[in-house]
Amino acid sequence: MTALNNPAGGEFCAAELIAILAKAVGFLFGALLLGQFVSRPMFKFASMLRGKGLLVITGLALCFLFAWAANVVGLAPIVGAFAAGLILEKVQYRELAGRDGYHELEEAIEPIAALLVPIFFVEMGIHVDLRSFIDPAMLGLGAALTVAAIIGKQVCSFGVLDKSVDRLSVGLGMIPRGEVGLIFAAIGLQLKIGSERVVDDHTYSALVAMVMITTMVTPPLLKWSLTRRNHAAQE
């Protein structure tokens, strides 16, 4: 869904959807292959400058650059931002991080996150129609999405081939949908196929409910799974 970016609300045919999917996959592979040739010179140039905050500025500039590139080719900006996150390596910004007194880029952007993250969640919540929570159909859809999210991650955990790794814990750890799921839902709320929105108000509310439930149930389930494994190892 995040690969789609059609503000005009035109209709999509199967061929167009396949083309968009191919474009998204191609963009990600291209970003991973060519991104190093962009990110390394950017951080190298920034390290030559004498100033504070260059780590944050360069990291955000790279993120915005890839988001813009994704938008130019017709993809959602989050695809570009995601690609930027994949190509960032500590070795690229180690000098800048040390100069600013940080170990990781995540530490440097914490003040920005502290300001923007609450605003993001408030904005996502504003789009929720509270009246939909008394609709049995919405509640059923939310429950079905939650069950699918939980079972689906357990199925994916079978891809872990290392027998020393607890597959149950891996599957439980993948359950939360978090902010990415909310971004998916918000894009679908704005995207139209013909005159119809891809995600209507009731579906959006169900998706938000699924995100909330999966986020809240994961910590206790994961704690139980890890505790169970530790007890089994001690025995």
Predicted local confidence at residue 12, as pLDDT: 52
Q: What are phi and psi of 193, to 5 degrees?
A: -115, 110
Question: Three-state SS for 206?
Answer: helix
Q: What's the confidence (pLDDT) of residue 10?
A: 47
pLDDT in tens, 88-113: 776 667 766 666 677 777 777 888 88
- Asked if residue 184 lies in contact with residue 221, where contact means CB atoms within 8 angstroms, the answer is no
Q: Classify 194 in phi/psi space as left (phi over 0), alpha (psi -120 to 50) or beta.
A: left
Q: Cα angle at 98 between 92 and 103, to 5 degrees?
A: 80
27-56 per-position pLDDT tens digit: 888 888 888 788 888 888 877 777 777 778
pLDDT for the residue 9: 47
| Rounded CA separation 65/59 (Å) | 10
The residues, ordered by sequence, that sit 6+ positions from 73 with a Cβ below 8 Å of its Cβ are 23, 27
- Taken in order 52, 56, 60, 62, the sign of the CA dihedral is positive
Q: State the pLDDT at residue 146.
A: 92
**What pLDDT does 14 receive?**
65
Whole-angstrom distance, CA of residue 138 vs CA of residue 206: 6
| Cα 235 to Cα 231: distance, rounded to the nearest angstrom | 6
**Low-confidence residues of the chain: pLDDT under 70:** 1-14, 16-17, 90-92, 95-100, 194, 231-235
The structure tokens 């059609």 sit at: 6
Strand partners, 196: 193
Q: What is the pLDDT of residue 143?
A: 93
